[in-house]
Amino acid sequence: MRSHRELARIVGAEHLLDAPPPSSPYNHDATHRHGVEGRAEAVVRPGSAEEVAAVVGWCYAHDTPIVPRGGGTGLTGGAVPIEGGVVCALERLRAIRELEPSLWRIHPEAGVPTGHVQRLARENGLLFAPDPGASEQSQIGGNVATNAGGPHALKYGVTGAWVTGLEAVLAPGELVRVGGWARKDVSGYDIKSLLIGSEGTLGVITAVRLRLLPAPEAAIALIVFFDTRAHGCAAMLDIPAAGIQCSALEFLDGETLRHLAGAYPVGQVPSAAEFALIVEVDGTRAEAEAQRRALLEVLAGTTDAAIAIHEPQDTNALWRWRDGFNGAVTAVRGAKVSEDVAFPVEHLAEGLDRFAEIAAQHGLRSCAWGHGGEGNVHATVLIDPRRPGELDAAQAVGEELFALVVSLGGSIAAEHGIGWSKRGRLGSQWDARAVELHEQIKRAFDPKGLLNPGKKLAVSPR
Ligand SMILES: Cc1cc2nc3c(=O)[nH]c(=O)nc-3n(C[C@H](O)[C@H](O)[C@H](O)COP(=O)(O)OP(=O)(O)OC[C@H]3O[C@@H](n4cnc5c(N)ncnc54)[C@H](O)[C@@H]3O)c2cc1C
């Protein structure tokens, strides 16, 4: 085994883990139930951006892969050291370098948990809207690296929309700042945006400048139940067509509802429900109330379809229930394979119908939920991990689903990234020259191919 004395000198011996055992969390992320695992030769936990730069410099000089790691909540194997190398865990970069409520901005280091950024904003009367489901575990650097979304991305945009500047370590180990606090900046190519969503394959993010917004005074949520998937999908088109800008428009199909009904915090799920929407509107109290009334009018226009409308007193309980979908559905058969895809909204109904057919043809139970206002579906098959044939069948369902998504003009990766699990598929979605540019950009940032190798590949390695 190679000596990592120099790495220990950079980060301190207590922050270096030599050859962690296979069971170490640093060899996994949230895909561990699907058997995605890596084998890090070392894990480092640098305590400053300068230490991150020195670690990347060491890895580049020693031709060693470097795998940036945030909270490890990724759903595509992005933080897993599949090709070995050094895992660079950002968890000690936890400082808030600046919080300026009157200027609506915050400057956290990469390892600050997402939930902490949200809370700091809230405590100062402000809003940081990106709300991916595992926000107490995920880190702001990981959110930027995956360009994470969540329910409120519908009105307020995904994480990248909130980033005005980044500090990152680029190969071969240089600390670089792009963007800043300027509210307008077209001074060069948009390198900041290239780093956003790059999943650790172009650089290691060490700090993030985020804009904030004044928090809306009020948010009102409704849960609307439908007797068919078609009626629910029609309502998802009717609501924006009526000029209502929802802050969230989430859907659950009938199967998902049945798995989650026991924990539903607002009463009883109607027994005839085959589809549900969680619809939230926000603004000043008067605006939110006016939008609520408008919503009820639109839904009344489809009264034969909306079989019940619930108005929860406790919106937080509703969103906690929503955050629990992933875990609750996983528990039904012990594991699940969930593909995060996006359909153009007008093709969502067709996409959901055909996904259910594909899963049934492969003998698997399926369900789907997601950020419906954006056509973003978490298309899920339930599997028993003790039956290996089911994982193969789930993968076959995934392949047919990706072909369907592309044929309907959608995207094979909506908000969870490409990582390891979805590598090599860009050619099915992009024109050849654009795919070639994608690869050239990777080479320009990372000529030795050491930054998170094997991840976010545009085409499969030959
Ligand atoms: C229960 C659950 C619900 C979820 N809900 C959502 C959701 O609603 N919306 C959504 O978008 N996602 C969701 N996710 C996925 C996941 O939480 C997001 O992808 C999140 O942004 C990952 O952040 P992380 O800090 O855990 O990153 P990790 O999993 O550690 O890493 C993810 C990727 O980012 C890279 N990376 C991490 N930190 C850095 C850094 N500082 N610099 C460079 N690269 C870095 C890694 O190399 C890897 O490629 C959910 C996951 C779970 C488990």
3-state secondary structure the chain: CCCCHHHHHHHCHHHEEECCCCCCHHHCCCCHHHCCCCCCCEEECCCCHHHHHHHHHHHHHCCCCEEEECCCCCCCCCCCCCCCCEEEECCCCCCEEEEEHHHCEEEEECCCEHHHHHHHHHHCCEECCCCCCCCCCCEHHHHHHHCCCCCCHHHHCCHHHHEEEEEEEECCCEEEEEECCCCCCCCCCCHHHHHCCCCCCCCEEEEEEEECEECCCEEEEEEEEECCHHHHHHHHHHHHHCCCCCCEEEEEEHHHHHHHHHHCCCCCCCCCCCEEEEEEEEECHHHHHHHHHHHHHHHHCCCCCEEEEECCCCHHHHHHHHHCHHHHHHHHHCEEEEEEEECCHHHHHHHHHHHHHHHHHCCCEEEEEEEHHHCEEEEEEEECCCCHHHHHHHHHHHHHHHHHHHHCCCECCCCCCCCCCCCCEHHHCCCHHHHHHHHHHHHHHCCCCCECCCCCCCECCC
Token pair belonging to 413: 């990766």
- Quote the ligand 1 centre to 108 CA distance (angstroms): 16
- Quote the ligand 1 centre to 236 CA distance (angstroms): 28
Report whether residue 199 contacts ligand 1, using a CB cutoff of 6 Å. yes
Protein residue with least CA distance to atom 44, ligand 1:
200
Report whether residue 75 contacts ligand 1, using a CB cutoff of 6 Å. yes
Report whether residue 110 contacts ligand 1, using a CB cutoff of 6 Å. yes
Taking the CA of residue 143 as reference, the ligand 1 atom at the shortest distance is: 21
Taking the CA of residue 455 as reference, the ligand 1 atom at the shortest distance is: 49
pLDDT in tens, the chain (462 residues): 577 899 999 999 999 999 999 999 999 999 887 788 999 999 999 999 999 999 999 999 999 999 999 999 999 999 999 999 999 999 999 999 999 999 999 999 999 999 999 999 999 999 999 999 999 999 999 999 999 999 999 999 999 999 999 999 999 999 999 999 999 999 999 999 999 999 999 999 999 999 999 999 999 999 999 999 999 999 999 999 999 999 999 999 999 999 999 999 998 999 999 999 999 999 999 999 999 999 999 998 765 678 999 999 888 899 999 988 888 999 999 989 999 999 999 999 999 999 999 999 999 999 999 999 999 999 999 999 888 899 899 999 999 999 999 999 999 999 999 999 999 999 999 999 999 999 999 999 999 999 999 999 999 876
Establish whether the linkage from the previous residue to 108 is cis, with ω within 30° of 0: no
Quickly count: other Cβ atoms within 10 Å of residue 407's Cβ: 12
Quickly count: other Cβ atoms within 10 Å of residue 329's Cβ: 20
- Quote the ligand 1 centre to 179 CA distance (angstroms): 22
Quickly count: other Cβ atoms within 10 Å of residue 424's Cβ: 14
Token pair belonging to 138: 């995920």
Protein residue with least CA distance to atom 20, ligand 1:
143
> What value does the CA radius of gyration of the chain take, rounded to a whole number of Å?
22
User: Which among 75, 80, 201, 446 is the best mutation to test ligand 1's pocket, defined by most ligand atoms within 8 Å of the CB?
Assistant: 75
Report whether residue 160 contacts ligand 1, using a CB cutoff of 6 Å. no
How far apart CA 43 and CA 59 sit, in angstroms, is: 12
How far apart CA 369 and CA 276 sit, in angstroms, is: 9
- Quote the ligand 1 centre to 234 CA distance (angstroms): 32
How far apart CA 170 and CA 174 sit, in angstroms, is: 5
Q: What is the pLDDT of residue 62?
A: 97
- Quote the ligand 1 centre to 183 CA distance (angstroms): 27
Q: For residues 329 and 368, is the Cβ–Cβ distance under 8 A?
A: no
How far apart CA 401 and CA 381 sit, in angstroms, is: 11
Q: What is the pLDDT of residue 388?
A: 81
Report the chain's terminal Cα–Cα distance, integer Å: 30
Protein residue with least CA distance to atom 17, ligand 1:
73
Report whether residue 143 contacts ligand 1, using a CB cutoff of 6 Å. yes
- Within 8 A by CB and 6+ apart from 25, the residues are 72
Token pair belonging to 181: 């606090």
Report whether residue 209 contacts ligand 1, using a CB cutoff of 6 Å. no
Report whether residue 338 contacts ligand 1, using a CB cutoff of 6 Å. no
Q: What is the pLDDT of residue 35?
A: 80
Amino acid, single-letter form, for residue 157: G
Report whether residue 51 contacts ligand 1, using a CB cutoff of 6 Å. no
How far apart CA 444 and CA 25 sit, in angstroms, is: 31
pTM assigned to the model? 0.96
Sign of the four-CA dihedral 176, 169, 213, 184:
positive
Report whether residue 146 contacts ligand 1, using a CB cutoff of 6 Å. yes
- Quote the ligand 1 centre to 94 CA distance (angstroms): 17
Sign of the four-CA dihedral 138, 140, 142, 144:
positive
Q: What is the pLDDT of residue 462?
A: 61
User: Which among 251, 416, 442, 455 is the best mutation to test ligand 1's pocket, defined by most ligand atoms within 8 Å of the CB?
Assistant: 416
- Quote the ligand 1 centre to 26 CA distance (angstroms): 14
Q: Where does residue 303 fall: left (phi above 0), alpha (psi -120 to 50 degrees), or beta otherwise?
A: alpha
